[in-house]
Amino acid sequence: MGSDVWRVQESEYPAQAGAEERLRFLLRYAVLAPSGHNAQPWRFRVADGRVWLYADRRPGAPIQKGWRGRFSGRRGRRLPVADPEDRELTISCGAALFYLRLAMRYFGQAETVEALPDPHDPDLLAVVHPAGPHAPDDTDRALFGAIRRRFTHRAPFQDTPVPPALKHMLQWLAEHEGAGFHCLSEPAAKEPVADVVADGDLQQGGDAAFRRELSKWVRTNLTRRGTGMPGYAFGLGLLPSLVAPGMLRWVNWGSGQARRDRQLVLQAPTLAALTTPRDGIACWLTAGQALAAVLLRAAGDGVQAAYLNQAVQVPELRERLRATLGSQDRPQVLLRMGYAAAHRAATPRLGVAAVVD
């Protein structure tokens, strides 16, 4: 649990073991996928040489030690205030699905995905079937090699522009997964997006329920939990991280955050919106896979991203963003992208044992 999960080594791959043992090893990469609030809202089942991916919507419960003395890590993963339809939860599961697919290809195994196979079980999002040998190509190797290089950068980016060739590649990758990818780099195009983001901060910062939910996922730098966002992910030292959850919960931070985020949006070398033709679970699962591909390809070239979730979490602002983009598609994720001055420490993750039934 925690940072140890990031230490998985390629040399540990059990190439001579049975199919299920190999799949369990590959899930060690799937759990490194990004997720909203680092909630990691996924569960897996491995049987009959296949992997079942489930959305983890179970209600919250205190983390307790199991009979073997290990923390079970079971806690509600939904964000009912910020994400009442489980849209971002499904996108997060889609990212984990892409990481699993990528790991399979990298280690020489083709895959097929059966999305939403059971209409009577909305939590079952996909079943992944091995589909014979696969020779990893340059794209597989580049994306896989970036898994431990990707992180969320919440500070300002350097002024260096994102190369047009990379933006075209990110667009191609998103479209290959079934999503759209819109880049905005000119100041005139970023200005209305900055207004949308700032208005989102004002609304969410003034909402006591939203603040309470957010505060539950912000951790101190001493945390030993495998989920949530430690203070160091925001650039906070130990002492500020100890008071951050309480400040987030009890103080209306909307105005100050709106000013800061507006500047971050205008300063960002590139803004990027990931879109899908429609809404719904299938489109959200597609968006998550496209997001994972885009973030990994960008990180491989040293470009990191930060989420501007407020613009897509508030319904009326999501429509404003859609109009600003001039697209009929639904915006699912809004990012600012650029080169980070320094690498940020990885956020904790739950190990495979905590998320495999």
pLDDT computed for residue 301 by the predictor:
97
Instruction: Looking at the structure, tell me whether residues 202 and 322 fall in a common domain.
Output: yes
Question: Using an 8 Å Cβ cutoff, are 164 and 260 in contact?
Answer: no
Asked whether residue 213 falls in the same domain as residue 132, the answer is: no
Residue 140 shares a structural domain with residue 177? no
- Tell me the CATH number at 328: 3.40.109.10
Q: Which residues contact 250 (CB under 8 A, 6 or more apart)?
A: 211
Asked if 122 and 194 sit in the same domain, the reply is no
CA distance linking residue 132 with residue 273, whole number of Å: 35
Asked whether residue 257 is assigned to any structural domain, the reply reads: yes
Task: Tell me which residue has tokens 């690498």.
Answer: 343
For residue 297, count CB atoms less than 10 angstroms from its CB and return exposed for 0-12, middle for 13-18, buried for 19 or more: buried
Cα within 13 Å of Cα(330), Cβ side: 17
Which residue reads 């992208």 in tokens? Answer: 337
State how far the Cα of 16 lies from the Cα of 38, in Å rounded to an integer: 33
Based on the fold, state whether residues 209 and 133 are members of the same structural domain. no
Give residue 328's domain range.
Answer: 164-339
DSSP helix/strand/coil, 40: coil
- Reference 153, options 303, 326, 288; nearest CA is 303
Structure tokens at 274: 């990931």
Number of domains observed in the structure of the chain: 2
Q: Tell me, what CATH number does 97's domain have? A: 3.40.109.30
* Judgement on whether residues 173 and 280 belong to the same structural domain of the protein: yes
Tell me if 344 is assigned to some domain: no
Q: Which tokens hold the place of 249?
A: 């919960």
User: Which of 149, 175, 210 lies at the terminal end of a domain, its last residue?
Assistant: 149
The answer as to whether 248 is a domain residue is yes
Supply the DSSP symbol for 19: H
Please tell me whether residues 9 and 132 are part of one structural domain.
Answer: yes
* One pLDDT digit (tens) per residue for the chain, 357 residues: 566 899 999 999 999 999 999 999 999 999 999 999 999 999 999 999 999 999 999 765 333 333 233 333 445 789 999 999 999 999 999 999 999 999 999 999 999 999 999 999 999 999 999 999 999 999 999 999 999 999 999 999 999 999 999 999 999 999 999 999 999 999 999 999 999 999 999 999 999 999 999 999 999 999 999 999 999 999 999 999 999 999 999 999 999 999 999 999 999 999 999 999 999 999 999 999 999 999 999 999 999 999 999 999 999 999 999 999 999 999 999 999 999 988 888 899 999 999 998
Do 39 and 126 sit in the same domain of this protein? Answer: yes
- The residue to which tokens 């079943």 are assigned: 127
Domain-embedded: residue 177? yes
pLDDT of residue 66: 35
Q: Specify the 3-state DSSP secondary structure of 57.
A: coil
**Strand 218-219 and strand 229-230: pairing?**
parallel
What's the pLDDT at 52? 98
Is residue 331 in some structural domain? yes
pLDDT for position 61 = 38
Q: Are 304 and 150 in contact (CB under 8 A)?
A: yes
- Asked, for residue 350, whether it belongs to a domain, the answer is no
Quick one: 127 and 229 in the same domain? no
pLDDT of residue 59: 61
- Is 215 within a domain? yes
Q: Rounded to two decimals, what is the model's pTM?
A: 0.94
